Chain A
Amino acid sequence: MNSKTLLFTLISSLSLSFLTGCEHATVSESREGAAALAALNYDGSQTALDNLNKQINEAGLDTARKSALIADLVTVLNTPKLTFDAQQTICQKLGYITLTDADIERILPAVSPLLLNLATVNNGLLALVPISSSRVDRVFIDALNHSEGELKVALVQALARRKQVSATNDLIALINDGDKAISDAAIYALGEIGTREALTGLSQAKNQSNHYVVDAKIAIAWKLSPQEGSDILNQIYLDKSLTESNRAAALRGLLNLQPEKAKDRIVDALMGSSAAYKKVCLESLYSSQVPNLKAAVLDHFSSYDPVTQCSVIAVMGKLSEVGARSVTEASLSSEVDELRLAALGAIANIPSTPKTVKILAELAAKASGDELRAAKYAIARLQGEGVSEAVLELSKSGSVKQKVFCIEAIGARNMTQAVPDLLAMRKAKEIQVRVAALDALGDLASVGLTDPIYAWTLGSKEGQELTHAKRTLFKILQLENDSSLRGVDLITKIKAGDAVTQLKLMSLLPKLDSEIALACAKQLALSDKADVSSEAISTLETWSDAGGLVSLVEISEDSKNPSVRSLALESALRVVDLERTTPAKEKSDLLIRLFQCNLTIEQKNSVLYRLGRGVSAKALSFAESLASDVNYGVEAKRAAEEIRANKLWPATLISEANTRDLHNMVDGNFKSSWTAPTASKPSLTIDLKAKRIIRQIVLDERRDNRNYPQSLEVYITDDLDQLGTPVVVVKGTIDATIVNLPKPYYSRYIILKGTSKNKDANWSITELHVD
């Protein structure tokens, strides 16, 4: 061993102590760490890798610590039974560390040989590609000249990544190589290097139409002087043997490098027939600094075909080009639908005038669908002197449609200065104007509008105006941040008001989402005014939380009026039906309370029917307690039977169509559903897990309410091999399909077959219930 090697080995041995990340590690611990790293496998313990990462992070920017770590890693690299995974990992880490010249010399003997073997070349590249050094340059060239095939490709690609100028001649020698992968890689590398020498070399490529050659030339063109670059790009642009996309790319470059010719080139392209050229020219408008370019493009607007005109207008709009206003305004009157649409999109961003408002309002009065929406978009954003004033003026003086358009715009433009004018529109003859004014006031909602909007609401007759007035009133009420005060004013007015007032304002109570609103609604339900009571009960039925249902039960309990009790019961049962999810969540307690109210026999039996959907011990016990009752026994026994059967719920569901989402039908979640295409005539098998009573099947479709089968065949059986004939065939219906069986059945399986004539139709079930 010579002195240099001895010194290297001594240094390496001392440096081993750093491998475990502990300055005071023993030599044996260090050796263990090195051994663990050398034996690294990606599918085994990663402790050695974790330790290495930690050491690298701890070394941070400390040059001495890094160098010591590097020395350790080189030692590991030289371990005889080093795994591939360890080699790759170490090389990868070396590539992320900034190396001194001494570090580079240290790693080269271990890493350079890796470049000579296809199995290890990528590992070598991990370490060496990031190193910018003439020493490493020579290593690469040397390796290149001793390689072939795939190995050569890898090295050429590495030279491209390094943009290694010193390899230019070696790469030029490869551009006509018989192996296309090598020649293409070499051509690409020359493009990355980007020098004049590289360009000269490229001219020697036999196939100048090869897209690698063209791309490389384009890449070089951007790196050389504008004159040189222009020459290259011009050659490509004029070469008709090349693809249009190549030539378009060259054109794009010329627009930048020869700005003095940009105007003519762009106008020519836009007037021409090449979509590829038009695309790059339009795109260039965004970044071009050429003076008066946009004006030149607009000057020739009438010469372009309609599609190009649309594109030009769109670009000008995005650039807020004031010079495009007259062309854009004129296009608003075009007979071409798409051009009007493009102009509407653009005008919103172009500084405008009162004339623009007038044109928009005239267009909107005749428009519908996309175009009307686009006009509303435009007027909401339109900027310029006098624009808001023009909007206000037309809101009072135009045709009815123009007025409505401009009134809506007042709201959309947040023109709070127009509030008095909007309030005055309460006296307008046209209902459309009054409704639009109310909506605009809703957009401009402020607490100061409370009293006039209350007055407007209470003064409105039933119908559209009242609906919109209430909507606006609600928006104003919502402005109150303090939830304890929100709606207090409304409730006071309701309580103090006459029946007309109460009937008008009551529907706002559920929207307040508060305890005092709920209490008010309940109080109204117990009122002795029949219409008020009835309306209040309907309102409670639509309450957003459980409070509504509880109140309905309380009304059934507390009211001395049988009609009120009936209404409350019916509403309560509708809520129970609507909110039905799974047996575990059934509202058995409330149903038991309802049963105990002063109701008719029929009403109580309908309560018992719902009680049968539950699964609780209390519900079962209650049902069983009535089993002998002469009036309720039949229904109570069936309910008890169902409750016992419900313990096996959810059913097992089987279908050949969409097996993935079957559980969505029984998860109690209205936001999930099962869907299958009816064209394949899917069947759904419901295995109830044991024989049980079956009286009704409910397919809740609310999540996708229009996806129901036109025809639903229902089979009930205990033997899946013997379906027999359907017990009933029903038509599917929107929102929910309810199958009432002709008599109660006792079976285990239900099979549903859905069909539809529309081959694109789907069958969707949000929740499935069996009674």
Chain B
Amino acid sequence: MKTVNPRKVAHSLAQPTRRDVIKQGLAGILAYSVAPLVLPNRMFGATAPSNQINVGFVGMGLQCSGHVQAMLGREDVRVLAVCDVWQEKAQKYKDKIEAHYASGKRGGSYHGVDMYHKYEDLVARTDIDAVFVCTPDHWHAAVSNAAMKSGKDVYCEKPLTLTIKEGQVLVNTARKYGRILQTGSQQRSNASFRKAAEMVRNGWIGEITGIRTALGEFPVVTSLPEEKIPEGLDYDRWLGPTPWRPFNLQRMKGDFGGGWRCFYEYGARKNGDWGAHHFDIIQWALGMDHTGPVDFIPKGYQGTEYQTHIYANGIRVERVDNHLKSMIEFKGKKGTIWVSRNDYLETDPISMSAKPLSPSEVHLYASDNHHDDFLNAIVTRQRPIADVEIGHRTATVCHLNAIAERLGRPLKWDPLKEEIVGDPEASRWLDRPRRAPYAIL
């Protein structure tokens, strides 16, 4: 009995809905908005060692997987080293990377990936050009800073930092040492988010009446029983500059729905984890990359329904979390924009999303692949799309929201001076103490 071959019909079956039309409109525009690679894979005989970019990875947990895959797929990049405080994780990636390189060789063996326990040893190598920092948030700044001071360019996962002070240090180092740092806010390299930001920037929805975003929520942290530290794990180093806590795998687990992300010691919970994406796009859309909001109000304060931050021009950003049809919603007097991942972009009026920009309008820096953009920037020295200062300013928004939440009161922020106004207690939270011997930033 004949059964139809699914895909043969699937193409025609996949008739576009309204939503798909928007995507198609966007696709049509993509042909004209894809930023060209200055020096793609075929750069002057890409596979010649002198033309390759040598990279090392620090932090071989959940997040590094996508980055490692991406780098292994490139002929102009060579992975030379991996580093993790847990030996088995580093070993797993060493084996995987070597197997990949071996499969392309006659004789089928390759042993050129070094394994490190301390990032200091990896960044000290003179043959590494760039470092991917994929650790939990509390290690981002120290590793990135050390790498830049050692002459490396850095791709650092988001949020860029654990504290605002750390961000200032990273910007300072990047500029003084002439280094490139790309923050891992890869939504900036997505056409839908870029188009949404361009529409806002160019006033297509008129005066902004409100912005809402959904970050979700992590489970509440509970006390965890102490467990035996696994063999091969340097837990003290994993804790690094954060206060000592008894070991429990839940505390350090990489888990998009929990694990270390739940703990304020290592991050800013959802404000950091997803705020680093969505607040970032909002900053971009509003043209606030080199400044930031001035008021931060925690949810529940004097009846405030939603966590809110407010810009000097009065624009309010609310963290709504439920019943929002997209990850970010921009509402204006002339229309509304809804944008999410997976190329979701919807507008009211509908025609807006597919309409091209005219040359005289603001065209935002176009990147369609966050890794390509970083590697491009390494060679050309142009500022990447999520440059260190952008990452720092976005992280600042994340951290100030988290500080206001933890203190249970609103904060006033001076984005020019980068100071909390009139609250010396809260100002203490701009940085955190660092536990020896990991106190050096």
What is A's interface to B at a CB cutoff of 8 Å?
41-46, 57, 60-61, 88, 92, 95-98, 121-122, 125-126, 129-130, 150, 153-155, 157-158, 160-161, 181, 185, 188, 211, 215, 218, 222, 243-246, 248-249, 252-253, 276, 278-287, 306-307, 310-311, 314-315, 318, 337-338, 341-342, 344-345, 370-371, 373-374, 376-377, 379-383, 387-388, 408-409, 411-415, 439, 442-443, 445-446, 474-475, 478-479, 481, 510-511, 513, 541-544, 573-575, 577-578, 606, 609, 695-696, 698, 700-702, 705, 733-736, 738, 740, 759-760, 771
Q: Which of A245, A307, A701 contacts B151 (CB 8 A)?
A: A245
Q: Is B434 an interface residue (CB 8 A)?
A: yes
Residue of A whose beta carbon sits closest to that of B38: A342
In angstroms, Cα B14 to Cα A513, docked, is 12
Given contacts A92-B433, A578-B9, contact A481 B36 (CB under 8 A): no
Q: Is B416 an interface residue (CB 8 A)?
A: no
Residues in B neighbouring A222, C-beta threshold 8 A: 176
Residues in A neighbouring B149, C-beta threshold 8 A: 211, 215, 249
Q: Which of B15, B354, B379 contacts A475 (CB 8 A)?
A: B354
Q: Which of B26-34, B187-195, B269-277, B317-325 lies at the interface?
A: B26-34
Q: Which of B10, B15, B29, B178 contacts A283 (CB 8 A)?
A: B178
- Supplied contacts A279-B178, A342-B380, A412-B32, 12 more A-B pairs, CB within 8 Å: A46-B223, A95-B433, A122-B243, A122-B435, A307-B39, A310-B39, A370-B36, A413-B358, A481-B349, A544-B16, A574-B9, A695-B1
Residues in B neighbouring A338, C-beta threshold 8 A: 38-39, 43-44
User: Judging by beta carbons under 8 Å apart, are A370 and B243 in contact?
Assistant: no
Q: Is B363 an interface residue (CB 8 A)?
A: yes
Given contacts A154-B436, A606-B1, A702-B10, contact A252 B151 (CB under 8 A): no
**16 A–B contact pairs at CB < 8 A?**
A41-B223, A46-B222, A46-B223, A60-B409, A154-B439, A161-B439, A283-B178, A307-B39, A314-B381, A318-B365, A370-B36, A414-B355, A478-B350, A479-B350, A702-B6, A736-B7
Q: Which of B10, B18, B407 contacts A57 (CB 8 A)?
A: B407
User: Judging by beta carbons under 8 Å apart, are A57 and B409 in contact?
Assistant: yes
User: Judging by beta carbons under 8 Å apart, are A61 and B359 in contact?
Assistant: no
Q: Which of B18, B180, B360, B435 contacts A513 (CB 8 A)?
A: B18
Q: Which of A286, A370, A771 contacts B383 (CB 8 A)?
A: A286
User: Judging by beta carbons under 8 Å apart, are A736 and B382 in contact?
Assistant: no
User: Judging by beta carbons under 8 Å apart, are A574 and B17 in contact?
Assistant: no
Residue of B whose beta carbon sits closest to that of A513: B17
Residues in A neighbouring B18, C-beta threshold 8 A: 478, 513
Residues in A neighbouring B226, C-beta threshold 8 A: 43
Task: List which B282-304 residues lie within 8 A (CB) of chain A.
Answer: none
User: Judging by beta carbons under 8 Å apart, are A377 and B33 in contact?
Assistant: yes
Q: Is B5 an interface residue (CB 8 A)?
A: yes
User: Judging by beta carbons under 8 Å apart, are B425 and A157 in contact?
Assistant: no
User: Judging by beta carbons under 8 Å apart, are B25 and A475 in contact?
Assistant: yes
Given contacts A478-B350, A574-B9, contact A98 B380 (CB under 8 A): no
Residue of B whose beta carbon sits closest to that of A700: B6
Residues in A neighbouring B67, C-beta threshold 8 A: none
User: Judging by beta carbons under 8 Å apart, are A544 and B17 in contact?
Assistant: yes
What is the size, in residues, of chain B's interface with A at 8 Å between Cβ atoms?
90
In angstroms, Cα B180 to Cα A609, docked, is 63
Residue among A122, A344, A544 having the largest count of chain B Cβ atoms under 10 Å: A122
In angstroms, Cα B179 to Cα A285, docked, is 13
Residues in B neighbouring A373, C-beta threshold 8 A: 31, 34, 36
**A-B interface, 4 closest residue pairs, ranked by CB to CB distance from nearest:** A245-B151, A735-B7, A280-B178, A154-B436
Q: Is B21 an interface residue (CB 8 A)?
A: yes
Residues in A neighbouring B350, C-beta threshold 8 A: 478-479, 481
User: Judging by beta carbons under 8 Å apart, are B44 and A307 in contact?
Assistant: yes
Q: What's the nearest-Cβ distance from chain B to residue A675, in Å?
A: 13
Residues in B neighbouring A307, C-beta threshold 8 A: 39, 43-44, 379
User: Judging by beta carbons under 8 Å apart, are B151 and A244 in contact?
Assistant: yes
Residue among A276, A283, A337 having the largest count of chain B Cβ atoms under 10 Å: A283
User: Judging by beta carbons under 8 Å apart, are B433 and A380 in contact?
Assistant: no
SS class, residues of chain B in contact with chain A: loop
User: Judging by beta carbons under 8 Å apart, are B4 and A578 in contact?
Assistant: yes
In angstroms, Cα B326 to Cα A601, docked, is 51
Q: Is B107 an interface residue (CB 8 A)?
A: no
User: Judging by beta carbons under 8 Å apart, are B408 and A252 in contact?
Assistant: no
Residues in A neighbouring B360, C-beta threshold 8 A: 383
In angstroms, Cα B438 to Cα A150, docked, is 11
User: Judging by beta carbons under 8 Å apart, are A701 and B428 in contact?
Assistant: no
In angstroms, Cα B426 to Cα A57, docked, is 10
Given contacts A283-B180, A338-B44, A544-B17, contact A188 B359 (CB under 8 A): no
Q: Is B12 an interface residue (CB 8 A)?
A: yes
Residues in B neighbouring A95, C-beta threshold 8 A: 428, 433
In angstroms, Cα B436 to Cα A287, docked, is 36
Q: What's the nearest-Cβ distance from chain A to residue B147, in Å?
A: 11
Residue of A whose beta carbon sits closest to that of B126: A243
Q: Is B313 an interface residue (CB 8 A)?
A: no
User: Judging by beta carbons under 8 Å apart, are B379 and A311 in contact?
Assistant: yes
Residues in A neighbouring B409, C-beta threshold 8 A: 57, 60
User: Judging by beta carbons under 8 Å apart, are A388 and B39 in contact?
Assistant: no
In angstroms, Cα B32 to Cα A414, docked, is 12
User: Judging by beta carbons under 8 Å apart, are B37 and A60 in contact?
Assistant: no
Residue of B whose beta carbon sits closest to that of A311: B380
User: Judging by beta carbons under 8 Å apart, are A510 and B15 in contact?
Assistant: yes
In angstroms, Cα B436 to Cα A125, docked, is 9
Give a binary string over B407-441; 1 marks a CB under 8 Å from any A CB, 0 the rest: 11100000000000001110011000111110110
User: Judging by beta carbons under 8 Å apart, are A377 and B178 in contact?
Assistant: no
Q: What's the nearest-Cβ distance from chain A to residue B32, in Å?
A: 4
Residues in B neighbouring A382, C-beta threshold 8 A: 359
User: Judging by beta carbons under 8 Å apart, are A318 and B383 in contact?
Assistant: yes
Q: Is B177 an interface residue (CB 8 A)?
A: yes
Residue among B9, B178, B355 having the largest count of chain A Cβ atoms under 10 Å: B178
User: Judging by beta carbons under 8 Å apart, are A414 and B356 in contact?
Assistant: yes
In angstroms, Cα B176 to Cα A158, docked, is 24
User: Judging by beta carbons under 8 Å apart, are A153 and B437 in contact?
Assistant: yes
Q: Which of A154, A246, A252, A702 contacts B7 (CB 8 A)?
A: A702
Q: What's the nearest-Cβ distance from chain A to residue B74, in Å?
A: 15
Q: Is B13 an interface residue (CB 8 A)?
A: yes
Q: Which of A125, A481, A574, A759 contacts B103 (CB 8 A)?
A: A759
Q: Is B357 an interface residue (CB 8 A)?
A: yes
Residues in A neighbouring B423, C-beta threshold 8 A: 61
Q: Is B66 an interface residue (CB 8 A)?
A: no
Q: Is B348 an interface residue (CB 8 A)?
A: yes
Q: Which of A126, A153, A446 contacts B433 (CB 8 A)?
A: A126
Residues in B neighbouring A121, C-beta threshold 8 A: 436
Residue of A whose beta carbon sits closest to that of B51: A307
Residue of A whose beta carbon sits closest to that of B149: A215
Q: Is B245 an interface residue (CB 8 A)?
A: yes
Given contacts A215-B149, A338-B38, contact A511 B425 (CB under 8 A): no
In angstroms, Cα B1 to Cα A683, docked, is 26
In angstroms, Cα B107 to Cα A13, docked, is 79
Q: What's the nearest-Cβ distance from chain A to residue B19, in Å?
A: 10
Q: What's the nearest-Cβ distance from chain B to residue A381, in Å?
A: 5
Q: Is B246 an interface residue (CB 8 A)?
A: yes
In angstroms, Cα B9 to Cα A541, docked, is 9
Q: Is B8 an interface residue (CB 8 A)?
A: yes
Residue of A whose beta carbon sits closest to that of B383: A286
